[in-house]
Amino acid sequence: SVPLSFFGGIGGSSKKGILVKGSNYLEALAQAETVVFDKTGTLTKGVFNVREVNAKDISEDELLKYAAYAENYSNHPISLSLKRAYNKEIVNDIIKDVEEIPGHGVSAVVGGKKILAGNEKLMVKENIGFSKENISGTVVHVAIDGDYAGYILIADEVKEDSAAAIKKLKELKIKQTIMLTGDNKQIGEETAKELGIDKVYTELLPVDKVEKIEEIIYNNKGKVAYVGDGINDAPVLARADIGIAMGGLGSDAAIEAADIVIMTDEPSKIATAINISKKTLRIAT
Ligand code: ADP
Ligand code: MG
């Protein structure tokens, strides 16, 4: 049977905006030794600002317009940001054959032209030739009817709370913090360094993230928690010993798949949850 103090633990967490779906998750969390984070939307705000538009044969406005139209039906943080940057009404009925390609970007027919908007992986997959520049940042490449049309350089910011979140985990004797991201190597490594995260794996597809978490679980003795927010994170949340969703702006799929939901946007609540779990377990045993 479940010791009474566990209910105290669950109740105490919910007062702090931490929803625990069962006492077994609190027990597992007390034994966590590794905490793995998603980057975009979890440790960063997931709000990208446009830094630069580099168009080849069309105007910058047109490039941004095609990208915003192609992204119109996606809820990815990148899509929302591009639509915000475009900041004009989008005429839905010229958008057809929309396809979202996880970890890559989107494809859509806009005004009869086939638009691709996404990362380098998407361009390679679709055989779009382009000269590789050394661009520092998150880049959305755009192709129109099979030809490279330019790129949009965007940048996200880390959440104010993220560095403190990692620091607190170290104070709680968490052995290892890891970041998994679909974003590029440079941005991933920069962010991990800035936040004091021990290890980072970048340019991962959603399926790669599941494989990575399995590998981490296999190679580490203690329990492994994964913290994520997006639709793509749901399978990883389900696979981790403890799946923790950032519920503030998190997707329904992530909240559904998680064992624990942080109701606010603050990653430092992970440390709060671990603290509560440890205290609860100490009382219970
Ligand atoms: P993460 O949350 O780790 O950044 P995602 O799998 O959501 O992971 O995205 C990984 C990468 O795939 C993004 O950094 C971006 O380059 C590309 N991408 C995914 N979805 C889109 C989209 N809708 N538009 C443009 N690029 C996208
Ligand atoms: Mg994310």
**What's residue 180's pLDDT?**
97
Q: What CATH architecture applies to the domain 4-45+158-284?
A: 3-Layer(aba) Sandwich (3.40)
Q: Which atom of ligand 1 is nearest to the CA of 100?
A: 23
Looking at ligand 1, which residue's alpha carbon is closest to its atom 17? 104
Q: How far is the CA of 101 from the centre of ligand 1 (A)?
A: 9
Identify which ligand lies nearest to the alpha carbon of 204.
1
Between 137 and 1, residue with greater pLDDT: 137
Looking at this predicted complex, what is its ipTM? 0.96
Is the confidence at residue 133, as pLDDT, over 70?
A: yes
**What's residue 247's pLDDT?**
81
Q: How far apart are CA 247 and CA 143, in angstroms?
A: 34
Q: Is 38 a catalytic residue?
A: yes
Q: Which atom of ligand 1 is nearest to the CA of 205?
A: 6
**Average pLDDT of the residues in 184-190:** 94
Q: pLDDT tens, 152-174?
A: 999 999 999 999 999 999 999 89
**Average pLDDT of the residues in 201-219:** 96
Kind of pairing, strands 18-20 and 260-262?
antiparallel
Q: Does ligand 1 lie within 6 Å of residue 117's CB atom?
A: yes
Q: How confident is the model at residue 1 (pLDDT cuts 50, 70, 90)?
A: low
**What's residue 135's pLDDT?**
82
The domain locations on the chain are: 4-45+158-284, 49-155
Closest to 35 (Cα-Cα) out of 194, 197, 229? 197
**Average pLDDT of the residues in 249-264:** 89
Matching CATH number, 49-155, of 3.40.50.880, 2.40.30.10, 3.40.1110.10, 1.10.3720.10: 3.40.1110.10
Instruction: Give me the chain's average pLDDT, please.
Output: 93
Q: How far apart are CA 242 and CA 273, in angstroms?
A: 12
Q: pLDDT tens, 51-68?
A: 999 999 999 999 999 999
Closest to 254 (Cα-Cα) out of 239, 283, 268, 233? 233
Q: How far apart are CA 156 and CA 266, in angstroms?
A: 16
Token couple for 182: 């679909």
pTM: 0.90
Q: pLDDT tens, 88-108?
A: 999 999 999 999 998 899 999
β-sheet with 176-180: strand ranges across: 18-20, 260-262, 242-246, 223-228, 32-38, 176-180, 199-201
